Structure 1
Amino acid sequence: MPVKNKFLLSLAMGIGLMPNAFAQKQQVNILQVPGIDQYCKIDTAGVSVLPSGRLITPAGQTIRITHDPFGLSVSPDGKKAVTLHNGVITLIDIATMGSLRVPSYDKKITSPLSNGSFLGVAFSPDSKTLYLSGGDNGAVIVYDVEKFIKTDSLSLNGRVGDKDYDDSFTSDLLFNADKNELLVLDRGNFRMVRINLATKKITASVNVGRQPFGLALSPDKKTAFVANVGMYSYPLITGATPKNADSIMISRHPYGDNTKESREGTIVEGRKIPGVGSPSSPEAMSVFTINLATNKVINKFKTGHQVGQMLEDAEVTGGASPNSIAVGSQYAYVTNATNDNITIIDYKNHKLLGDIPIKVDARIDKFRGLLPFGISLSKDEKTLYVALLGFNAVAVIDIPSQTTKGLIPTGWGTSRVKLSADEKELYITSCRGYGAGPNGGHGFVAPPQGTYIGDIQLGTFQKVTMPDNAQLASYTQQVISNTFISKPAAVATGNPLPVLPGASSTPIKYIVYITKENRTYDEVLGQMKNAKGDSTLARFGVHCEYTLPDATRMQFPNLNVSPNHIKVAAQYAFSDNYYCDSDASIHGHHWMMGVIPNEWVEANSNVSKTAKLFSNAPGRRFPGSTGSMDPEDYAETGGLWEALERKHVDFYNFGEANETAHVREEWEDTNTGAAHIVMVPMQKALYTRTSHNYAGFNTNIPDQFRVEQFKSEFTKMWITGKKKMPSLITMQVPNDHGADIRPKDGYPYRQSYMADNDLAVGRMLDFLSHTKYWKNMLVIITEDDPQGGVDHVDAHRSILILAGPYVKKGYVSHTHANFGSILKTIYNVLDVPYVNQYDVTATLLQDFFTDKPDYTPYTFIPSDTRVFDTKKAMARYSKNTNWRKIKKGVDMDDEDRERNDHYKQKGKKTSGTIVN
């Protein structure tokens, strides 16, 4: 057998893709999603198709509730369940599966939660009172569930012993009946608080690790357990004060993660930068045990796999993310989301006993992506029930044999699981339920929760009868078939996209991966022929004046907002069945760079929170990236960047990953689009391969400016320079996100930002197609998320355009695709092994490609100057400007603002309206 064939055979077997008579027929079995030929749909009585192409068929009885239920409690009398969302609770009658939302949509029942909420919810022993995490307000809210009134608010702030605490942020909590007290986590001050409910006084404050997230209590009520999901306590630039902060910022991340500079500190742009220490610190991603008799920390356990450890041939780059804990009489069990395993702690003898790997199918078990989150333990302490956030299932784990007995199908994004008192039923929540569905178009009727993607996408609550072995086996098979299918594929077809990494040669040597911001398919491409679009929603299309109100329509005959998008799609190939897995930017920039958002990203991105950078509460400088990834978010062995580095494949980044939670984004920040004051590391693999002369997300900066930056740097390095173009270039052109109108700067309408973006995309493709690299190039154009738009198929449906000599001309793909499909394309072309389960099971997009190249370059179309005036937008760059007086731009991931913009643009009769 030739060496290449031996390699491919080994690869296919290594990822569980067994070849079928490989040596003779040159075939392998590849995994793909089951919805490969279907469009997204919600069918609560049958089978729903998710943006990923996976299917949803929840077991038992299911009801839809408000999105993102990250807290769950069952009343002691077993009659009620309550789910906690950000600023919302849902009361559920378990017997009837009836539910009540608080606040109600008709406003008759008001919310007791004024500033959001986070994770923590518990019933009183009489099942009449709820204790709720107040989140950002640093209090525990006491709520009467029979009278629907708030009866008290217990603040975590104040003096305890000789120390004053302020800026608390309430996280998980539980009721300790033995002491008539609450145990409460304060993620603002990195501590656990004890509150005596008789006196309403704080009796103890115990320092724990960073970003305390999960809380549990031993059956004998003597030991508390705290799971800390934070990696670092993020410092300010040395010497920063509220008065000088604006002038002391640096233009980029200060260092790569887990480097000498990040551990010990460094100097950047003349500023002294403190280090963040080691990821091996006991306070980082750990579990603390606390003796409640003495209020002292007994042990600090580092669970799961540790940063720097080698797993086969890959170095661990992400912490374990221990998040939830179930406790028995001697052992505690901790879910490690990043590692897809459960750590066993013998807390009586103060030692770790190892990990239970969660295994679902031999074909994908070597890859991560299950993301274990909520966990419950049976009374006999022999079985664990684990919510798999990334696999849409509950895993049933046999503790004695440390094996996975089976899987129970759930909704999308399983978050919590609880047992009934008699253990005859399971109660399960999923944060995204059946998905979003359409949020506009002909015949669409807006539901009471609204049409914004974060509102229309409801969560689910399930009641499942405890399955016997036969039923569990059936459920398990259902989960697997909902997640992936295996199909034979020929290796030597001549298609430029190999079926597997390294499976066949390809003429494509260079990939340019362009990401944009916040648009849906129908908004931009809804007019395309031979595709599944709704032209009435194409407010950013061409000749789209018909989307305007009657009073405005005559002012804009033949209005062209996105002529280049339309031309590129028509000249090359696009998909009408492509979806972002993300709801918003914080998810999108994880997904598209090969990292599945973990439980911290999901929960932290869906909570109201206020940054207080100069507070004594370190958790108020919270991680919460938008265009970047924080160390809390890293995958076990990384994502796209780390995969390329391991294979020694060259790459370079323009604009991605330079936006943390606390950056400034003003006109002056033209080097990178941002200015940093809170010091957060960047992924080590990316740090030395990122341009410091290209503006990432910042809608104050025209995309035309980015074009000039890109062309200049590209030419200097890879045309006139001695180096050749890297195999992969990632690039962000974000202004289709939109912002407030600025007529003097060339943005008189909301559509102006899209027109700016459209021209930039056209100009970049024009430039690339006239370089010497074009004959071997593939350009991928997509959005990081669809949150700003409307679509008649699904609110997640978005833009995927492929361009290049080996892309079919005038082609429309109807194959179901998502971010995983893009990553599979990159990995297969560049011969880079897959990283996670989404890569392995993603759709293979061979239908986009041809083996007959057409090297014709692209020629861009100028913008419609009535909507966007390039000269005005670029004028300030040729004269002296008082930067300090320029208004700050919009934040990328301000969900409240995006929600308001969505409804403002949609209106009652103003969808697509150009407004002043």
Structure 2
Amino acid sequence: MMTRNFLYSSALVLLAVASGCHNFTGKQSTNGNSTDNHSGYDDSTLRQTQAPFLLPYNRIIQPAGDVVRYGSTGDENHTLDVKVMPGSNLLAVEDRYGIAVIDPQDKKVLARWGYASDPKYRGLMSTYSGIQVLQEDGKVSIFWSAANGDSHQSYVLKAVWADNQLVQTDAIPFKPEGDSPLALPNELAIDQENGINYLFVVLNGNNRLVKMNLKTHDVQWSKPIGVAPYGLVVSNGKAYVSNWGGKQPAAGDKAESAGVPYGKAFIDPKTGAINNGTLSVFDEKSGALISEIKTGLHPNDMVVSHDGRFIYIANGNSDNVTVVDAAQNKVAATIPVMLFKEKQRLIGDSPNALLLSADDHTLYVANGMDNAIAVVQLNGASGAVKGFIPTEAYPCGLAQNGNTLFVTNLEGEGARVNSMAVTTGRDVPKTPGGAFNSHHQLATLSIIKVPGEAELSGYTDQVRKLSLAFRAEIAGLMPRKGVAPQPVPERIGEPSVFQHVLYIIKENRTYDQILGDMPEGDGNADLCIFGSKVTPNEHQIARDFLLMDNYYVSGKCSAEGHQWTDAAMATDYVEKNVRAWFRSYPHVQTDALVYDQNGFIWNNAADHGKSVRIYGEACTPHYEQGTTWAKVYDAYQNGKPFKFTNTSTISRVRPMMSPNFACGNDLTIPDQLRATEFIDELKNYEKQSGDQLPQLMVMALPDDHTGGMRPGSPTPRAQVADNDLAVGRIIEALSKSRFWKNTVVFVTEDDSQAGWDHVSAYRTTGFVVSPYSRMKQTVHVNYNQTCVVRTIEQILGIPPMNAIDATALPMFKCFNNTADLSIYHAQPNQIAINELNAKLSDLKGHDLYYAKQSLRPEFDHIDGGNDDLMNRIIWYSAKKSKPYPKKYAGKDDDGDDD
């Protein structure tokens, strides 16, 4: 199957070369339809080794300029911020695991200091942004912020660059205050008063701004500010702070608020998202609050004009820049920076970093989700986008030296490190062709010459093409009258044969882990650990309906994954927290800072008159303390009810939520209970007159995540088998119901982080099940999670929520035009669902070691704990009689290898 991968990759590159600027545009259809969504992207896998790189969310990256790549191949690396070091052309770069000094001329890393190098700082990660440089005593001092959510430590760190050496010299600690478990310093500013340097620090966790003597560390003042303060500039005797989560709710405020980590914030009741952003203005000397200015949503990075007249604030969830008149402390202008036409109103650009040219005439804006820099021509307070410069994935830090721009790319080229290149870590595949895992990627820095007008025009066209903008145009076409119903209508608003959609979201598996043993697809049997014996239903469904072997998740872990499944995008707040997850790990929707301004697929459907039922997504179950999986399952087998309650922090979700279906954030509850509750509700709907089955049903079915080898819990293969049988039973019940003729089921994993895949770190299992999908063939088209969301929208006749699902490819190739109403019969499980892990007292050797590791408190909940460790636990549990294949075995780091 490697030949098909190579051909797909080659076809994309050839198409890119032939089109000059990668003209991935639509074309006129030959079957009588007016438009065609097809592009070169759709004929390719994500197994790219050179640009153009495909991303698993309808974007292609072909960056301008040169790229410096660095970092341990055993890690998931991310660059965050950059500054030009005074007195040289060198760059100080902040990445998630430390800092680096980079020579942009030679395009190499001269030195790097990481937290792992010092026992005092192990476990720290750099916060969102804010690296600063200062020339003092003939040396360059570098300051930046770091924190450790587990140990609750927070520091502003200092390193010195001198004589081509990078030495960490100081660490200023900050303690958590109030309800916060983590002070979480972020942006920094250094300003001099009367010959004394003062350090200003935003404490994102404590919701405070602190001023201290840089030399003595004496605190001058500490002031409360808004929710989750982020950015900071000091100018004209004032300190300006952007509040990511907006204004602090006060006692007696009647407007709806919802939980964010360490407090509450005002939210939009329709979506649950933060509904305001603010800029706090303080007197630099006294710390007195001067003004609170309204901005756009998720205000983050800021810059001040060199003449001090204007403050510019990037609004990550409004896709614009607020311009504040510094003298009058009021908004002077708002500058949109959207890539797509403003009339399309497609959110999702995510501006998150700013840079002003030396003459104050040009503002550079890092649009994270556009993989581009917006170039804004300024005219006083006003401005307009002049064009876009392509970067790597998610630009998030900007600097300039002369005619050269420097860009840190938070997501770089994505998780593309091949196992053959990994020199650290465990269970790293060493096989011809290699394999991929979502937690192995390099940090990248772009070096780009400032383009002239003609070059900028070409770059702008390229960015639009790489963003598949033509599909957004198709998404906006008006429906036609008299069009016959289709499984997936060609245009939104045209009729579908389907009236009901069930959207099932599972947990954390790669394609090869589950379906790698299917000869019908591009699988690798050596990487298959939950094959046909464990997952007979998924295998049978793939054979009876269709097998997708080129389907991808859009994020690298569940905190990202549930945003992509539920909202078809991830916000700046999510991206800035990637891998570190300082404030929350939002695999369950409980943090209002996570959500984009348009919300989720359920409120999109409800806003357009569709009936919605949520089964276990975006909520948390509560039950009696001391409950165990065995007790719950034994009661279930004996027909006894399991008492629990579901809660959600999103008010819009509560009336949509099934109270009988246990929420998905829990492995104590077998998926058989969840399947039974859904089937019982389905039977009740069948008894009701007419067709009252909800038009959109969103379901969390999580137990294929597994709890490892934790004593008393089911074995990993038993939990995967439980999950597989639940899917089979649900499909069987639907196929026997009177609703089957007009129902479609989409099944996806939320992410693929828990294993390896030989095609891509993002490849996973996906299933499309309906009477119109009994195709009994393999579909090789490149689809991803946003394609599922777009297809659901297309079927329900509701518009896209953002620029990502607007450019997704509807899954036309997964359907026939003729229905086959055959009943699907669930395949019996071949692994006992109540096959439990052994007690510690019965274990020894590796069994005892991995059982103890599974008892770590971070594994108490779904998606807690170390993913690499869980991968190894799962492999050992599934194939302990067959050691990890030597051709896949990596270096054993701690001496407990098989």
Shorter-normalised TM range:
0.7 to 0.9
| 2:537 pairs with 1:576 | no
- Alignment correspondent of 2:279: 287
Matching of residues 774-813 of structure 1 within 5 Å: 774-813=740-779
TM-aligned CA deviation for residue 364 of structure 1 = 7.7
Matching of residues 1-400 of structure 1 within 5 Å: 27-29=33-35, 34-44=40-50, 46-66=51-71, 67-99=77-109, 102=112, 112=121, 114-118=123-127, 119-126=129-136, 128-136=140-148, 137-146=153-162, 147-157=165-175, 167-178=182-193, 179-218=196-235, 220=236, 222-230=237-245, 262=256, 285-304=277-296, 320-328=297-305, 329-362=308-341, 365-400=344-379
Instruction: Judge conservation of contact 2:612–2:656 (CA < 8 Å) in 1.
Output: yes
* Cα displacement string for residues 762-803 of structure 1 (whole angstroms, at most 9, x for unaligned residues): 111111111111111101011011111111111011111101
| 2:567 pairs with 1:594 | yes
TM-aligned CA deviation for residue 27 of structure 1 = 4.4
* CA spacing shift, 1:61–1:439, aligned 2, 3 Å: closer
* CA spacing shift, 1:351–1:172, aligned 2, 3 Å: same
TM-aligned CA deviation for residue 899 of structure 1 = 2.7
| 2:498 pairs with 1:508 | yes
Instruction: Judge conservation of contact 1:580–1:588 (CA < 8 Å) in 2.
Output: yes
TM-aligned CA deviation for residue 579 of structure 1 = 0.8
TM-aligned CA deviation for residue 675 of structure 1 = 8.1
Matching of residues 448-487 of structure 1 within 5 Å: 448=424, 453-484=437-468, 486=470
Instruction: Judge conservation of contact 1:601–1:624 (CA < 8 Å) in 2.
Output: no
Gaps of 5+ in 1: 1-17, 239-257, 266-273, 305-319, 543-559, 610-621, 874-885
- Which secondary structure does the structure 2 equivalent of 1:752 belong to? helix
Instruction: Judge conservation of contact 1:34–1:54 (CA < 8 Å) in 2.
Output: no
Matching of residues 578-727 of structure 1 within 5 Å: 578-607=551-580, 609=582, 622-628=583-589, 630-659=591-620, 667=628, 681-682=649-650, 684-695=651-662, 696-719=664-687, 724-727=692-695
Consecutive aligned runs of 4 or more in structure 1 exceeding 6 Å deviation:
18-22, 107-111, 163-166, 232-235, 258-261, 278-283, 487-491, 663-666, 668-676, 870-873, 886-889
TM-aligned CA deviation for residue 855 of structure 1 = 0.4
- Of residues 387, 397, 400, the one that matches 1:406 is 387
- Alignment correspondent of 1:553: none
* CA spacing shift, 1:155–1:675, aligned 2, 3 Å: farther
TM-aligned CA deviation for residue 157 of structure 1 = 3.8
* CA spacing shift, 1:675–1:173, aligned 2, 3 Å: farther
* CA spacing shift, 1:864–1:744, aligned 2, 3 Å: farther
TM-aligned CA deviation for residue 52 of structure 1 = 2.0
- Alignment correspondent of 2:635: none
TM-aligned CA deviation for residue 813 of structure 1 = 1.4
Instruction: Judge conservation of contact 1:224–1:291 (CA < 8 Å) in 2.
Output: yes
* CA spacing shift, 1:95–1:448, aligned 2, 3 Å: farther
TM-aligned CA deviation for residue 706 of structure 1 = 1.3
Q: Which stretch of structure 1 is more off in the superposition, 478-487 or 815-824?
A: 478-487
**What amino acid does structure 2 have at the position aligned with 1:41?**
R
Instruction: Please give the TM-score of this superposition, normalised by the length of structure 2.
Output: 0.80
TM-aligned CA deviation for residue 903 of structure 1 = 4.4
TM-aligned CA deviation for residue 48 of structure 1 = 1.3
* CA spacing shift, 1:48–1:20, aligned 2, 3 Å: closer
* CA spacing shift, 1:681–1:234, aligned 2, 3 Å: farther
Q: Which stretch of structure 1 is more off in the superposition, 182-191 or 134-143?
A: 134-143
Q: Equivalents in 2 of 1:806, 1:829: separation in Å?
A: 13
Aligned residues: 793
Instruction: Judge conservation of contact 1:72–1:84 (CA < 8 Å) in 2.
Output: yes
Instruction: Judge conservation of contact 1:394–1:409 (CA < 8 Å) in 2.
Output: yes
Q: Equivalents in 2 of 1:115, 1:582: separation in Å?
A: 23
- Which secondary structure does the structure 2 equivalent of 1:124 belong to? strand
* CA spacing shift, 1:28–1:417, aligned 2, 3 Å: farther
- Which secondary structure does the structure 1 equivalent of 2:773 belong to? coil
Q: Which stretch of structure 1 is more off in the superposition, 429-438 or 709-718?
A: 709-718
Instruction: Judge conservation of contact 1:519–1:798 (CA < 8 Å) in 2.
Output: yes
* CA spacing shift, 1:176–1:666, aligned 2, 3 Å: farther
**What amino acid does structure 2 have at the position aligned with 1:129?**
S
* CA spacing shift, 1:374–1:895, aligned 2, 3 Å: farther
- Alignment correspondent of 2:704: 736
Q: Equivalents in 2 of 1:600, 1:705: separation in Å?
A: 35
Instruction: Judge conservation of contact 2:98–2:113 (CA < 8 Å) in 1.
Output: yes
TM-aligned CA deviation for residue 374 of structure 1 = 0.6
Q: CA RMSD in A?
A: 4.0
- Which secondary structure does the structure 2 equivalent of 1:399 belong to? strand
TM-aligned CA deviation for residue 808 of structure 1 = 3.7
Q: Equivalents in 1 of 2:524, 2:685: separation in Å?
A: 43
**What amino acid does structure 1 have at the position aligned with 2:782?**
H
Q: Which stretch of structure 1 is more off in the superposition, 572-581 or 396-405?
A: 396-405
- Which secondary structure does the structure 1 equivalent of 2:125 belong to? coil
- Which secondary structure does the structure 2 equivalent of 1:375 belong to? strand
TM-aligned CA deviation for residue 890 of structure 1 = 3.1
* Cα displacement string for residues 720-759 of structure 1 (whole angstroms, at most 9, x for unaligned residues): 58871011111111111111325655x2x32222111111
Instruction: Judge conservation of contact 1:64–1:461 (CA < 8 Å) in 2.
Output: yes
* CA spacing shift, 1:732–1:72, aligned 2, 3 Å: same
* CA spacing shift, 1:449–1:434, aligned 2, 3 Å: farther
TM-aligned CA deviation for residue 598 of structure 1 = 1.2
Instruction: Judge conservation of contact 1:129–1:145 (CA < 8 Å) in 2.
Output: yes
- Of residues 868, 881, 901, the one that matches 2:833 is 868
* CA spacing shift, 1:327–1:26, aligned 2, 3 Å: farther
Question: Identity of paired residues, percent?
Answer: 26
* Cα displacement string for residues 125-151 of structure 1 (whole angstroms, at most 9, x for unaligned residues): 245322221324122122234544432
**What amino acid does structure 1 have at the position aligned with 2:80?**
F
TM-aligned CA deviation for residue 217 of structure 1 = 2.4
Instruction: Judge conservation of contact 1:208–1:283 (CA < 8 Å) in 2.
Output: no
Instruction: Judge conservation of contact 1:600–1:632 (CA < 8 Å) in 2.
Output: yes
**What amino acid does structure 2 have at the position aligned with 1:326?**
V
- Alignment correspondent of 1:541: 531
Q: Equivalents in 1 of 2:748, 2:361: separation in Å?
A: 47
* CA spacing shift, 1:275–1:483, aligned 2, 3 Å: closer
Instruction: Judge conservation of contact 2:246–2:265 (CA < 8 Å) in 1.
Output: no
TM-aligned CA deviation for residue 286 of structure 1 = 1.3
Q: Equivalents in 2 of 1:54, 1:859: separation in Å?
A: 39
Q: Equivalents in 1 of 2:398, 2:40: separation in Å?
A: 26
| 2:389 pairs with 1:419 | no
TM-aligned CA deviation for residue 836 of structure 1 = 0.7
Instruction: Judge conservation of contact 2:711–2:836 (CA < 8 Å) in 1.
Output: no
Q: Equivalents in 2 of 1:416, 1:176: separation in Å?
A: 21
* Cα displacement string for residues 515-552 of structure 1 (whole angstroms, at most 9, x for unaligned residues): 1000011111122233222122111112xxxxxxxxxx
Gaps of 5+ in 2: 1-24, 72-76, 429-435, 633-640, 839-854, 877-881, 890-896
* CA spacing shift, 1:835–1:167, aligned 2, 3 Å: closer
Q: Equivalents in 2 of 1:158, 1:763: separation in Å?
A: 49
Instruction: Judge conservation of contact 1:103–1:109 (CA < 8 Å) in 2.
Output: no
Q: Equivalents in 2 of 1:497, 1:342: separation in Å?
A: 38
* CA spacing shift, 1:101–1:864, aligned 2, 3 Å: farther
Q: Equivalents in 2 of 1:649, 1:77: separation in Å?
A: 62
TM-aligned CA deviation for residue 30 of structure 1 = 5.7
